Amino acid sequence: MEDQSTKSSRYTKAIVCGVPSSLPALAQRQSDALGAVDYSEAVRQHAKYVATLKHLGLELIELPADENHPDCVFVEDVAVVCEGVALLAYLGHPSRRGESAKMRKVFDDLGWTVHEMEHPATLDGGDVLFTGKEFLVGLSTRTNHQGLDSLAKAFPKYPVTGITVKDNLHLKCMMTMAGPDLIVVGGSEASKNAWNEIESTARFKYKRLVVNEDKAANCLYINGTVVHLPAHEIPSSYDTFKQLPCEKIELENSELFKVDGCLTCLSILL
Ligand code: CIR
């Protein structure tokens, strides 16, 4: 991830992966409450996501769906990237660990420096919020202290601070960047607690935009444009985005959200 607070550093590429047909039955999920994934609708929504990244000027590196890894579409978890260096994650869930091999090839082909992590360190990229100035790392059921240490070693130039994640899969299920020094944060108790921890322990200060629904707090900030969910998916948060003085694009994500996938999960921005 590049520093979005300076005008000169912009995303130019994104890595994405197709949606395997094994996802509806076999993807990991925290709960069945949202019902079954409609596979063809998931594919349609994902295709719009990919088209939107292209529309925003990014060159896409598109990996084919891997039926043996039902969660492969959630590429964000597999690597943390910053300034030509990629940390390949030892993913928190054992069923996902085989996703790293093909990602290694992508970064080797790009000529990036690649770091790997070793058990017992675990980390999911969904726990890593890079603010442009420092890394905030969710300590969750997927990411442990050793995982945080691996990240700190891979990116020695930046401060790294652990943030407790409760009641959510990842830190970025509760907050993401929505502009330079601006973090959009969900309205749940868990999100508020995570924000308070950031306020008291992060190295830098940030502005906060609070949205009622946690799921609304996961948006993409790409070269000055915020990509967020549409009104029918976040009815009590949608209007809050109108306060942002930047370009906005809406993208549906109802199907992959059923298996805990948010907008940021679906790409690695380079
Ligand atoms: C999992 O449980 O790993 C997937 N079903 C969802 C991963 C979502 N990834 C993310 O938030 N970065």
Q: In this predicted structure, what is the pLDDT of residue 122? A: 98
Q: In this predicted structure, what is the pLDDT of residue 6? A: 41
Please report the atom of ligand 1 found closest to the CA of residue 260. Answer: 6
Active site residue 55: no
Q: Which residues pair with 15 in a beta bridge?
A: 61, 268
**193 CA distance to ligand 1 middle (Å):** 21
**56 CA distance to ligand 1 middle (Å):** 24
DSSP annotation string for 160-223? EEEEE--SSSSGGGTEEEEETTEEEEESSHHHHHHHHHHHHH-SS--EEEEESSGGGG--EEET
Active site residue 265: yes
Q: Is 170 in the pocket of ligand 1 (CB under 6 A)?
A: yes
Q: pLDDT by residue (tens digit) across 47-60?
A: 999 999 999 999 99
Instruction: Categorize the per-residue pLDDT at 12 as very low, low, confident or very high, splitting at 50, 70 and 90.
Output: very high
Q: Is 263 in the pocket of ligand 1 (CB under 6 A)?
A: no
What is the pLDDT averaged over residues 61-81?
Answer: 98
The whole-model pTM stands at 0.96
**pLDDT cut 70: percent of the chain above it:** 97
